[in-house]
Structure 1
Amino acid sequence: MPFTKRLIVALVLATATAAFAAPTGTAQQAAGAAQCANRETPPPPVDTSEQPAPGQKAPTPLEVPEKPVGGDRLGECGLILPPNQAQPPSGITAVSWMLADMDSGAVIAAYDPHGRQRPASVIKVLLAMVVAKELRGDMVVTASAEDTQQECTCVGLKDGGQYTVRQLLHGLLLTSGNDVAHTLARQLGGVPNALRKMNAMAKELGALDTRAVTPSGLDAPGTSTSAYDVALIFRGAMKYEEFANAIKLKQAQFPGRNGGTIMLTNDNRLLNNYVGAIGGKSGYTDDSLHTYVGAAERNGRRLVVVLLRGQQQPTHITAQAAKLLDYGFGMGPGGVGKLVDGAPQPKPKVVPTQDSNTPDDAAAGDSASGRPTPTAFGTVGLPITAAAGIGLLAAVFLYIRNKRAKAARARRQAAQAAQGI
């Protein structure tokens, strides 16, 4: 075969080998995401609650981390169990759920833990956490007319009525008062500022699937969370004494609209019928369906359970939570992932010195995001791509050397002809 044809064949083979043997990480991620219906956003809404206001656009979906927070297996969207573990109990209607050890952080079982769903009133745990961090429990707050006009469920605040932050936390967590949520958001600097603080807290914890768009959990454009994030947020909130004391109360006295006091009763059924229950929060909207987060302790071990987008039939959502807690307490300490202790930190950016011969940051990768920069042949097959490049250089070198040899022979033949040899 002539050399030119051999060169062309070598170039084609080298390029094809590199391209097909080294699929890009982005392509692999896209293929995995295609199998998980709610990897980026919750399911479509069933009503008009998430339609943007006139002249406004819906927020763009939250970015999906390249690596699942808490471990690679938590990126799976089906049932995730340790090896040789018995199947979970039947009758669980939630499309996304998770069990985790609150102290060790081990995720011991899950189903689509990073699937994005709507939180409903479970997001009040995040609001309460920010309140517990920033406001004193004995601080006195005056309710406004706007607070009393929120879409209920409501505790029944009185315009001009005065309440301590501790009392408002009881109304928020025991009976899920939306009027109370608005009042506390005002004390955090107003609703937009309260939401900014809630979302900053979520990001700080590593709850990267979560975006609060209302302080109460009512549906609105862009709302999002996941079972993993709810567990992470509840675990973080339980570290605040004001929150932990409030969430476990079965009842609490609250100032009445017409003077005197009324009795608030906790709507978390597990406090009364599950031995070891230490608190929880439920929620519901037409779009989110039934949501729940709760925790219990047995033999010194504390587990948190989360259920999102569940149904009340044939079993109440809290009874489903109880079944999962029993299942979790029967499992060993091993896990399939971990509740992180803070948001994953980006890799430090390397700035090359003037004398450095290393490639610039763009070639080395996007250090700010921790993701490698995509290349022509992807990020997975770098060794193969490098080998292909070496092959191309070798082929070019042989081609140039062959041309020079032919030119030298031609010159010698011309010189011999001129001398009559």
Structure 2
Amino acid sequence: MRAALLAVTASAILLAPAPVTAAGASAGSTVRCPRVPAPAMSRPPRPSPPPAVPEQRAVGGAALATTGLVVPAGVAAPPGVTATSWLVVDLDSGQVLGGCGPHEYGTPASVQKLLLAATMLPRLDPKQTVTVTAADMDIEPGSSAVGLVEGGRYTIETIWLGLLLNSGNEAANALARLGGGGNDATGGVRAMNEQAHHLGALQTHAVTPSGLDGKGQFTSAYDLALIARACFAEPTFRRYVLTEQATIPAQPKQRTKGFQIQNENQLIYRYPGALGGKTGFTDLARHTYVGAAERDGRRLVVTLLGAEPAPKRGWEQGAALLDWGFTLPRDASVGRLVEPGELTATPSAAPSVLAAPGASRPAAASGPGRTGSGRLWSVTALSGAGVLVLLGGLLWRSRRRLT
């Protein structure tokens, strides 16, 4: 099966149009991404990523298989940012408007919580009241927490708000445990990886549900766009990420008072038309960000990895890229987001992952293929996931502080 699918991909490479490069660049050349210098500071060495898999780097279009800038010919240059990779995408059509190193591996930090949301929102009843366990409270000391207490009773909706507004790592553990059907987050993380591969996010491998750094945990700007698109398709998610404040209720048995939490994503307060998103930071990942906005009936999402907080914070860099995206013609495109299930279809039905933007393609399969045990298997994802698991542990040098 793998050989058959690779044959489809190889054929598509021969038929794909020449990469779309920045204005003035020759076809096939690497265009440097616009960057602004960040202040000198002490940073831990970034983890070594797995070897690149050519088929995965070309998912969504041949032009996206670059370490540099890819934008439609003749458009204005995007703003300089400190992020090492980014992508701007039309949420509704799935067309990629431009990016920098779309398929370069990066460390997710708390934007990983979007994969948790894409996986668990359909599984969990927001009205159900659940009990927080000791396993849920097992998070890195000093890392981001919303303030849940062991033995406390909360609705699942309250836990979601604690996750998406305040980036609570104990909330992530609880939701992964509840959605994964076990006594800890292990089953939930496994489900997250299955969901990533179903969405076509072949460069994403989750080790923790919260985004706390773990050996072999990576993603890409392209993968984050796939995950974000799945999240924003959920009305409940859209409501949560636009919520400005919420109440964490008192727990009389644990002698804790109720308190208010506020949404940490400044985009929703300061950017007209903001739809919400997620912030992230660890020492290793630096600042990561996903944000979406609507203007004149057009919805765009930006994803960025590896940013520094100066001269502009992550959300401000995202806002600048959104502004740029909204200036582009509605038919501008350098690639597309694959559809859920498209890359896990059978080889005979699998469309080319390198199809030209806007090209017609067979309908995606209704769902992923599964073994008797219920585990998702993707023909192309297997090799990528194996590389991540086997090599990640050997190459990772971990520091795990998350805010």
The TM-score, its normalising length taken from structure 1, stands at: 0.68
149-158 vs 177-186, which deviates more? 149-158
- The answer for the alignment partner of 1:413 in structure 2 is none
Q: Secondary structure at the match of 1:278?
A: strand
Q: CA–CA distance in 2 between the matches of 1:59 and 1:330?
A: 34
Task: Tell me if 1:270 matches 2:264.
Answer: no
Q: Take 1:59 and 1:319, find their aligned partners in 2: how far apart are those partners?
A: 27
Give yes or no for contact 2:165–2:263 (8 Å, CA) kept in 1: yes
Match for residue 99 of structure 1? 88
Q: Deviations over 1:30-82 (max 9, x none)?
A: xxxxx99xxxxxxxx9379x7xxxxxxx9976855266111110111111010
What is the CA distance between 1:248 and its match in structure 2? Answer: 1.1
Change (3 A) 1:167 1:97: same
For residue 129 of structure 1, give the secondary structure of its aligned residue in structure 2.
helix
2:301 is matched with 304
SS in 2 for 1:174: helix
Taking the aligned partners of 1:264 and 1:171, their CA distance within structure 2 comes to 8
Change (3 A) 1:59 1:115: closer
What are the Cα deviations for residues 196-237 of structure 1, in whole angstroms up to 9, with x where unaligned? 100111111111110011011011111010001101101101
2:276 match: secondary structure? strand
Residue of structure 1 in register with 2:24 after alignment: none
Aligned to 1:390: none
Aligned length: 302
Task: State the one-letter code of the partner of 2:289.
Answer: Y
Asked if 2 retains the 8 angstrom alpha-carbon contact of 1:347 and 1:369, the reply is no
> In structure 2, what is the equivalent of residue 286 of structure 1?
283
Give the counterpart letter for 1:77 in structure 2.
T
Distance, in Å, in 2 between the alignment partners of 1:325 and 1:316 is 14
- Report SS of the residue matched to 2:175: helix
Q: Is the 8 A contact 1:219 1:285 kept in 2?
A: yes
Given the alignment of the two structures, is residue 165 of structure 1 paired with residue 163 of structure 2, yes or no? Answer: no
Q: Does 1:211 align with 2:200?
A: no
Aligned partner of 1:194 in structure 2 is 188
2:75 match: secondary structure: coil
Larger C-alpha radius of gyration, 1 or 2?
1
Determine which of 229, 235, 241 is the counterpart of 1:241: 235
SS of 2:311 mapped into structure 1? coil
- Kindly state the Cα deviation for residue 339 of structure 1 after the two structures are TM-superposed: 1.1
Alignment of 1:370-381 (within 5 A): none
Cα gap change, 1:63 to 1:80, in 2 (>3 Å): closer
Q: 1:263 and 1:74 mapped to 2: Cα distance?
A: 43
Paired position in structure 1 for 2:355: none
* Maintained 8 Å contact 2:289/2:304: yes
- Deviation of 1:278 (Å): 0.7
Distance 1:180 1:62, change over 3 A: farther
Per-residue deviation, 1:239: 1.5
Contact 2:275 2:291 in 1 (8 A): yes
Secondary structure of 1:237's partner? Answer: helix
| 1:181 equivalenced with 2:172 (yes/no) | yes
Q: CA deviation at 1:348?
A: 2.5
Which residue identity does 2:87 align to in structure 1? M
In the alignment, residue 341 of structure 1 is paired with which amino acid?
Answer: E
Change (3 A) 1:106 1:312: same
Partner of 1:251: 245
Q: Which runs of 5+ in 2 are unaligned?
A: 1-12, 14-29, 32-42, 350-378, 382-403
- What is the deviation of 1:240? 1.7
| Partner residue in 2 for 1:82 | 72
Letter in 2 for 1:74: L
Structure 2 CA distance, aligned partners of 1:201 and 1:240?
A: 15
SS in 2 for 1:154: coil
Q: CA deviation at 1:346?
A: 5.1
Contact 2:57-2:103 at 8 Å conserved across structures:
no
Letter in 2 for 1:103: D
Aligned CA distance change for structure 1 residues 68 and 253 (closer, same or farther; 3 Å): same
C-alpha deviation, 1:316, in angstroms = 1.1
The answer as to whether partners of 1:148 and 1:156 remain within 8 angstroms in 2 is no
Asked if 1:314 corresponds to 2:308, the answer is no
Contact 2:289 2:305 in 1 (8 A): yes
CA RMSD of aligned residues (A): 2.4
SS of the counterpart of 2:279? Answer: strand
Q: 1:192 to 1:95 in 2, by over 3 A?
A: same
Task: Tell me whether 1:330 sits opposite 2:327 in the alignment.
Answer: yes
Distance in 1 separating the partners of 2:56 and 2:168:
37
Q: What is residue 101 of structure 2 aligned with on the other side?
A: 112
- Alignment-derived partner of residue 347 in structure 2: 347
